[in-house]
Amino acid sequence: MARPARPAAPPRGAAPAHLTKKCPECFAYLPLEADVCHACGRPVGPVTPTGLARKPFNLKAYLAAAAAIAAFAAFVWWGFFSD
């Protein structure tokens, strides 16, 4: 009795083919084409080699954080170091 042929293994270093991706916030399974998580409503990016979706870069959040830090630094300088 002959064994059925095994499918060819992917080459080493090749990214595994995923059928779904996971939301990085709530870990819900999503289709590969999804741009927004259906469970939590957060935006998701492309799938990583581990199967998780990437978090998209949010420039507005980084700019708001930088502005808040700069405002706090100016307040500290004004309150403690100005004469």
pLDDT digits (tens, 9 = 90+) for 46-64: 998 989 999 988 899 999 9
Whether the CB-CB separation of 22 and 29 falls below 8 Å is answered with: yes
- Give how far the C-alpha of residue 51 lies from the chain's centroid of Cα atoms, to the nearest Å: 11
Predicted structure pTM score: 0.54
pLDDT digits (tens, 9 = 90+) for 18-54: 899 999 999 999 999 999 999 999 999 999 898 999 9
d(C-alpha 83, C-alpha 81), whole Å: 7
H-helix or E-strand containing 22?
Answer: strand 20-22
